[in-house]
Structure 1
Amino acid sequence: MRWLVSMLGARFDPGTHNRRRLAEHRGATPAETLAGYRAIVSSTTAPTGDGPAWLGEVIVHGQDILRPLGRPYAPPVETVTAVAEFFAARDFAVNSRTLVKGLELRADDGPFTAGTGPLVTGGTLALTMAMAGRVTFCDDLTGPGVAMLRSRCTS
């Protein structure tokens, strides 16, 4: 509920919302901030009941940070599969379902498959990141549907 109230108060401006929430969680020192985050590492609380959506936030934004820094990290395939299935089934935080409409997605490292149409194949993480609109992950995909997917990605 606090998340929704904050978003309403920010008039659905994510920048304002994020600055407000960051200020709430920032400690007096970097060490205090880190200690606060470490204290909630095992938390499973999400703003709504859509756990895979919020897990997707962690995975997608984690990759947004790590990949440009040259620090590759691939979460467990089972974890990313839950997010991929969620993204393929609905538009939530990103227009993922719309982005892959008319394409067949097939992971080559796990059980994820979705859709029909020109085939796009690759790792579950790359497929998930492409569904989140991250065009650079299209470089990790193959198949006749990649060009269409790439043209639909935004960042």
Structure 2
Amino acid sequence: MAGLTDDEWARPSLCGEWTVEEVVAHLTAGASVGTVRWLVSMLGARFDADVHNRRRLAAHRGATPAETLARYRAIVTGTTAPTGDVPAWLGEVIVHGQDILRPLGRAYAPPIESVTAVAEFFAARDFAVNSRTLVRDLRLRADDGPFTAGDGPLVTGGTLALTMAMAGRVTFCDELSGPGVPVLRSRCTS
């Protein structure tokens, strides 16, 4: 990210209405708060995750993209997290990494073992994203790793594409095949 231009920092990400810089600030926020502060923030937001995320993002976004990046670099080796759900926070990094990279025309495939752990977590629960709800009554099967989940019309493709679709990123449905894809596509929100 160090070589990004101002225009690239301001580019819309795949994550709702957030820019690339805002996604980086969101990642910084998530890795900067422990359980108690996270609960206090969620209580203050009346358990509205959007309100909570906007406030935390604003607190961790710098005055410039360089400052936002410096704040992110400062937490990269940290171990602070709101909960002990490691796959959820690994999912934050994988999903938001793709949210940033795709609009910039760059590619990075995280290790299949990491993405599989996130896919299994997403298929089993609605936490951070409504992933389990998105794939309800669908059968998912990765063609590049061991991930499988669910029953119903088949959706097949790469583990990363399946994971990103479970995170609601409709553009990744283009990389999937099978009779369940139209249903999944209709459920995705971004």
Q: Shorter-chain-normalised TM-score: which range?
A: 0.7 to 0.9
Identity %: 87
**What do you get for the CA RMSD once the two structures are aligned?**
2.1
Out of 156, 165, 178, the residue aligned to residue 130 of structure 1 is: 165
Deviations 1:80-137 (A, max 9, x none): 1111000000111121111111111111111111111111111111000111111110
Gaps of 5+ in 2: 1-35
Note the C-alpha offset of 1:72. 1.6
Matches within 5 A, 1:17-32: 17-22=52-57, 24-25=59-60
Query: TM-score, normalized by length of structure 1?
Result: 0.86
Partner of 2:92: 57
Give distance in 1, aligned partners of 2:64 and 2:185. Answer: 42
With over 3 angstroms needed to count, the CA separation of the structure-2 counterparts of 1:16 and 1:92, relative to structure 1, is closer
Q: Which runs of 5+ in 1 are unaligned?
A: none
The number of aligned residues is: 155
1:101 to 136, 149, 162: 136
Return the alpha-carbon distance in structure 2 between the equivalents of residues 28 and 99 of structure 1: 36
Q: Which has the higher contact order (CA 8 A, sep 6+)?
A: 2
TM-score (ref. length: structure 2) = 0.72
* 1:8–1:148 CA distance, 2 compared to 1 (3 A): same
After TM superposition, the structure 1 = structure 2 runs for residues 5-154 of structure 1, keeping only pairs within 5 Å, are 5-22=40-57, 24-25=59-60, 33-154=68-189
